[in-house]
Amino acid sequence: MSQDGAQGHGAGRALAGGRYQLRDLLGQGGMASVHLAYDSVLDRQVAIKTLHTELGREQAFRERFRREAQSVAKLTHTNIVSVFDTGEDDVDGMTTPYIVMEYVEGRPLGSVLDEDVRQQGAMPADKALKITADVLAALEISHEMGLVHRDIKPGNVMMTKRGVVKVMDFGIARAMQSGVTSMTQTGMVVGTPQYLSPEQALGRGVDARSDLYSVGIMLFQLVTGRLPFEADSPLAIAYAHVQEEPPVASSINRSLPPAVDALIARALKKNPNERFPSAES
Set 151, 169, 232, 261: catalytic member? 151
211 is catalytic: no
Distance CA 129, CA 257 (A): 12
Q: Where are the beta strands (DSSP E) in the chain?
A: 14-15, 20-28, 32-39, 44-51, 83-91, 94-102, 106-108, 157-160, 165-167
Strand order from edge to edge, sheet including 165-167: 106-108, 157-160, 165-167
DSSP class of residue 226 equals S
Q: Are 250 and 258 spatial neighbours (Cβ–Cβ below 8 Å)?
A: yes
- CA geometry: angle 179, 52, 197, nearest 5 deg: 50
> Residue 70: helix, strand or coil by DSSP?
helix
Residues annotated as catalytic are: 151
